[in-house]
Structure 1
Amino acid sequence: MGVPISLTVNGKPVSADVDPRTLLVELLREKLHLTGTHQGCDTAQCGACTVHLDGRAVKSCSMLAVQAQGSAVTTIEGLSQDGALHPMQAAFRECHGLQCGFCTPGMVMSAVQLLQDKPDASEQQIREGLEGNICRCTGYHNIVQAIQFCQRGSVAASARA
């Protein structure tokens, strides 16, 4: 028997009946078909499943969907507005802050939170802020550059050029 839950996902009200053991990542991917949130390690180690819950970055593989009852969830799909990439998404594209792309949604979501909390973060603080996200391809150099690019507002400047 399912448990009824209601939440807001990417600005839209959502209701669903879920098994009490359903993880938030499973609700997003399997019931709501928001597959940008990736399910990687299932142990909250890799960060590929990172979403924003009530404005804070959380790993959606480590929380039950019923725990999100009444909350607002933003996924990578919800960052863009009116077809325009979020500045962090644009920075990752501009600076080649991805390779295979598997970790990218979680990295972007964590990076957005990082700059909200520390808009003037140093390179070392950026690297420390990404410790909960694993990338097996890039070595993090371009990811850090993308965050710094967004931090400087270079995305807006390059869009005007």
Structure 2
Amino acid sequence: MMYMAANGAISRRRIKVLQVGEVSFRAYCYMRQSNRTFTIENVLALVPVFEREKDYLMKVNGDIKDRGNIKWTAMMLPEHIAQLRDWQAEDDKVERPDLTDWDLDAIREEIELAHKRECNAWVQTWKSGKTIKYFGTIEKIDLHNKSIILSDPFGDETIKWMDIISVQSAD
């Protein structure tokens, strides 16, 4: 896998995918020798390694080999990558939907219903021009902090009420 970190650094990694979510996935990273979480949109290239090919390409006399000393380098200058990221971020921006009082009441009712039924729900948020969908069980409605606690396979997420633009029960 070719992966670009949040700071723009590009790395080549061998991974074994463990779990896949909406915007990220968990995988064992052979480079770091630990389980890691990767953002799907930062994956630049992904190539499967099949058992027969892996044995042929990666083993020489019982030793693991890096197929030579070939190192991956970026085909663009860092300034180009930064400019492309800025353009993409500008293109991907979504305006915040105008929610009426009726919409806000419907969201509140759906949150309360999903919390009481302890069922999975899709929660969509808007922040800084981006919409993000979360999936999980609403564990707690925090009146003091005006937020909900959503439990998903990767852990708990605290979501502020003012960021929520839609909620839909999955069960």
Instruction: Give the TM interval when normalised to the shorter protein.
Output: under 0.3
Q: Highest CA radius of gyration, 1 or 2?
A: 2
Higher helix share: 1
Return the structure number with greater relative CO, CA threshold 8 A, min gap 6.
1
